[in-house]
Every structure is written in structure tokens, then in C-alpha cells.
Amino acid sequence: MTRRELLAMAASGAFAAEHLNRAPFSHENLTVKLPEAEPVKLSNGVTLLAIEDSRLPIALVRFHVEDAGAIYSPRPGVAECTAEMLTEGGGGRSGKQIADEAARLGATLTSAAPAAAEAAAVEASGLISHFSEWLDLTTAVVLDPSFPADEFSTLKQRWRVRGRLRLTQPANLTYDALQRLIYGSHPAAVVFPSAESIATLTPEMLAQWHRERYTPAKTTVLCIGRVRTSSFVSRMENLLGGWKADEAHPSPPPPPQPASARRIALIDRPGAAQTELAIGGLLMERRDPDYIAMAVLNGVLGGTVSSRLVRILRDEKGYAFNPGSTYSAYRFPGVWRVNAAVRTDATADSIAIVLEQLRRLCDEPIPADELDRAKSNAVGVFALGLKQPSQAINQSYLRNRYGFSADYWERYPAKVNSVSAAEIQAVAQKYLAVSRAQIVAVGDAARIRPALDKLGKVEA
């Protein structure tokens, strides 16, 4: 069809009537063939996963140390600080020398054990021109950290400032409060250990935690980039083969229990122009078959620009600029969460809209065209993500970590496309019941409390 014909068609209205707001999409399953990352086990138990990706002269290496994450921390902050201190001194180098060397080698080096994490992670990425050197440096900080007292003192100071800064953001207040409501006594309830907790820690505590938890059998090393798998494995055998440590076998914390009733928390910000809302609840573990249906459900609820919450709260009502929903799942149950920063005078209506959309998901099957769009989006986002090397290797890591089948990711698009409206409705009824949704509001209490009082007892 020529451009002239297209214009004529559009002018006649036929084109517009037929295609306006209707992006074409295929019902055929996307075929994905992921590069193989066959696990290699070293004799001491270290697992290696590597993918060759020669598109650019770069590489990424990540150490995951299971059971060294925040949810296993013997006291708040130990796991977090241990991970963060790895790059502040180790392998006979000071923190400054590590930073200088990484910069000279064209690499970045980060380490963290964030909230709700089961594993600590150390990641390095950089140009392959100095790959073996920055791989040596990364391995040295993982195996041989020195936890210098002066650097730890500086970290405590940074932690104090970071804590104060993050509490100036209403979104962080809602996040912290919602995690507490959902997780209760489970360690994932602690998002950011307090400065008081951190102040009681010593370098010796971190060193002990490192000795006990950073062990070969709990370590998986990922590599993706312009690096031959055989040479990576050989190098890691040299660097890690002699690593010996007593293996700990910690029990995970008792699983969090789903709420039996709704709780409502209100944090006062007198004079606030907006109310930061967070509504959520407990979900399933990552291996649960419900997870795939939840991925599609989230796209319908608030996970895409055409989702119900975005359409209503932003496009139709103009209450919020960036409402949305997210979900998570780990070896322990994750959470679903709706977030929206809404105009103060629209707080009551916004909460009602969110709860109404939760109710609809529980009570009504999703219409076919809406379901198709959500599936198409879930598959498309998955496929696009694979262009990112860190995500491609992460899929291999997740497959290995959760014991998924070898073709799990190849079959993922088909699994998403096979989810039915009835399955999503069942998942909504199981996890998103309005009566058990936890609600947090950060805003001007004098103006928004009456609306919250109507929903139940408010904890201020």
C-alpha cells in the first residue's frame, strides 16, 4: 500500500476507526533461545555459570553468596555492613587502593546485601582489556576482606546520613511501614537497619559473619561478556580452588504468615500536598506455580502504562502522576504492592479506586482483550530484558537457584500465554483479598484521617 493510499484511508476514517488505540500483536508464542550457562562445580563446592557474549568488549562478574543476606543477619545491619565493607579493604589493599585499582583497570566494583536479600552479592563489570586483573581484584575482596576499623567508622557515619535522608522521602516511609505490616516478625520487615543498630556493631562481628557465611559451597559466580567460558573456569579454579571454609547450614527464618485482617497505618506529614499511599499483602514463593499468573495479573492491575490503576488514577482522574503496582517472590513469600502519590484532597477516592480494582480482580474474570495485552506486555518485557547481559546471566542464576528445568526460560513465553482469566482470578482471590490488604498512608493526617477511619482502625 502506498503512502498516498494510506493517507486516503486515514482521511476516510476507516483507518482510524479500525486501528486507533489498537496496537497489533501476535498470539503466537515468542520463541526464545537463551545462551546456555551450564553450571560448573569446583571441587570445593563453588558453582560457576558463564555465558559468552561477544557483542561488546565488556564483561560482568557477580558473586552470589547464599545465606549471607540480610534476612539471615544475626542482628540488624551485620549482613548489610559486611557486604558493604568488602570493597573498603581487602587482599592487602586499602579501600582507596581498591577504588584506584578498579578505576585504573576500567572496572567498577560494588557489594551489597540489601533488605529482604537472602544472598550477599559482589559485582564487578568493566572492559575486557584488563579482565583478568579486575577479576583477581574482585576475588580478593570476596575472599580476604580486612574490615578496617577507620573505614567502618566512616561507613557508620554514612549510614546515619543515608538513614536520615531516606526518611525525608514519603515513598520510603510507606515502603518501610508496609513491609512491617506485611512481614511482622520476619526479618524482611526491616528495610533499613537503624543507625543505633549499626552503631553497636564492631569490625570483629563483621569478620566473624564473613568467616561463617562466605563459604565456597554457598557461592555462585556468574560471568557474561567477551570472555571464553573455558578460560573463565580455568581462572576461577586457580583463584578459588584453594578456598576452604567450614560450611554453615543455617535454617531460614520461619516463613511469614499471611495477615488475617486489614491493618491501616497513618504517618503524619502536616501540610503535605500529597498523600503517599501503599497498599499490599503477602504473596507466594518464587517456585509457586501461581507466580506466572501473578506476573500477568500485575500487568493488568498497575504494572504497565495501560493498566487499570494508571488509566484511572492518572489518565481519567488526574490524581497521581505515576501510580503502579509491583510484585516479588523469593525462597520465602514475596509481596504485592500498589503505590501512588495522590493529591491530598483525592486520598479517599484514590484508596476507594484501588480497593475497587482489587475487588474486581477477585470477583470478575479479566476480559479477553485486556488479558491478551497484559500477556503480550509480560512476554515483551521479558524478551527485551534479555538484551541486557546482566539480565541474561541472571536468568541462568535464577534457573540454577530455584532448580527450574533446563528449558524454563525457553518455555516462559508459552507459560505466560497459557494463563487463563480463571487462573488469574483464583490468584487474586488467594492473595489480593480487599479485606486483608494492608494500607499505609503518609500525608496530612488532619485532612486524610477521616477517610482512613472509615476503612477500619487506624494505627498512627
Partner 1 sequence: MDPDWFALKGLGDVLGGSGASRLQNSLVKTAGVATTATVGVEASAGPNLLIVQVLVAPGKDPAQAERMVYEEIDRVARDGVPKEEVERVETDYLRKRTFALVTTAARAQVFDEFLTIYGGLEAVNGWEKRVRRIGGDDLKRVARKYLTAANRTVMIVNPEGKP
- If one asks whether residue 108 binds partner 1 (CB under 8 A), the answer comes out as yes
Q: Is 125 in the site for partner 1 (CB under 8 A)?
A: yes
Say if residue 104 is exposed, middle or buried (CB neighbours under 10 Å; 0-12, 13-18, 19+).
exposed
C-beta closer to partner 1: residue 105 or 424:
105
Half-sphere exposure of 149 (CA within 13 A, CB side): 2
Contact status: 270 vs partner 1 (CB under 8 A): no
The residue within the footprint of partner 1, chosen from 45, 160, 233, 411 (CB under 8 A), is: 160
Contact 80, 126 (CB under 8 A): no
Query: Is residue 450 close enough to count as binding partner 1 by CB under 8 A?
Result: no
103 binds partner 1 (CB under 8 A): yes
Find the part of the chain contacting partner 1 (CB under 8 A) among 121-129, 177-185, 231-239, 434-442. 121-129
Contacting residue, 99, 217, 233, 383, with partner 1 by CB under 8 A: 99
DSSP one-letter string for 151-216: HHHHHHHHHHHHHHHHTTSHHHHHHHHHHHHHHTTSGGG-SS--HHHHHT--HHHHHHHHHHH--G
The least CB distance from residue 108 to partner 1, in Å, is: 8
Rounded to 5°, angle at Cα 413 from 412 and 416 = 85
How many other C-beta atoms are found inside a 10 Å radius of the C-beta of residue 306? 16
When asked if residue 389 is in the footprint of partner 1 (CB under 8 A), the reply is yes
State in angstroms the smallest separation of the CB of 151 from partner 1.
8
Q: Which of 54, 238, 388, 435 binds partner 1 (CB under 8 A)?
A: 388
Number of residues that bind partner 1 (CB under 8 A): 29
Q: What is the Cα–Cα distance from 8 to 73, expressed in whole angstroms?
A: 67
Rule CB under 8 A: say whether 19 interacts with partner 1. Answer: no
Minimum separation from the CB atom of position 177 to partner 1 (A): 22
CA 358 vs CA 24, 238, 320, 364, 457: distances in Å: 28, 54, 18, 10, 20
Q: How far is the CB of 125 from partner 1 (least distance, A)?
A: 7
In the complex with partner 1, the residue whose CB is nearer, 95 or 145, is: 95
Secondary structure of residue 399 in the 3-state scheme = helix
Q: Check if the beta carbon of residue 354 is closer than 8 Å to that of residue 275.
A: no
Identify which of residues 124 and 452 has a Cβ nearer to partner 1 in the complex.
124
Residue 160 sits at φ, ψ, to 5 deg, of -60, -45
Q: Rule CB under 8 A: is residue 167 a binding residue for partner 1?
A: no
Place of cell 489498537: 22
* 318-to-84, 359, 400 alpha-carbon distances in Å: 41, 22, 44
From 106-114, 214-222, 233-241, 374-382, span contacting partner 1 (CB under 8 A): 106-114
- Distance in Å, CB of 283 to partner 1, minimum: 29
Q: Are residues 216 and 240 in contact, defined by beta-carbon separation less than 8 angstroms?
A: yes
**Rounded to the nearest 10 degrees, how much is the dihedral formed by the CA atoms of 195, 196, 198, 204?**
160
| CA pair distance 283, 288, nearest whole angstrom | 10
6, 161, 381, 422: residue in contact with partner 1 (rule CB under 8 A): 161
* Shortest Cβ 140–partner 1 spacing (Å): 16
- CB 77, min distance to partner 1, A: 17
SS3 87: helix
Per CB under 8 A, 158 contacts partner 1: yes
Q: Which of 3, 387, 405, 406 binds partner 1 (CB under 8 A)?
A: 387
Residues 127-146 that bind partner 1 (CB under 8 A): 127
Residue 105 engages partner 1 in binding (rule: CB under 8 A): yes
Contact yes or no for 170/442 (Cβ under 8 A): yes
Radius of gyration of the chain measured on its C-alpha atoms: 25
Q: In degrees rounded to 5, what are phi and psi of residue 428?
A: -60, -45
Q: Which stretch binds partner 1 (CB under 8 A): 28-36, 158-166, 213-221, 279-287?
A: 158-166
CB of 103 to partner 1, least distance (A): 4
From candidates 19, 41, 162, 457, binder to partner 1 by CB under 8 A: 162
Question: Of 48-87, which residues contact partner 1 (CB under 8 A)?
Answer: 55-58
Per rule CB under 8 A, is residue 102 in the interface with partner 1?
A: yes
Three cell numbers at 371? 488479558
Stretch that binds partner 1, among 152-160, 186-194, 215-223, 249-257 (CB under 8 A): 152-160
Which residues bind to partner 1, rule: CB under 8 A? 55-58, 95-96, 99-100, 102-108, 125-127, 154, 157-158, 160-162, 165, 384, 387-389
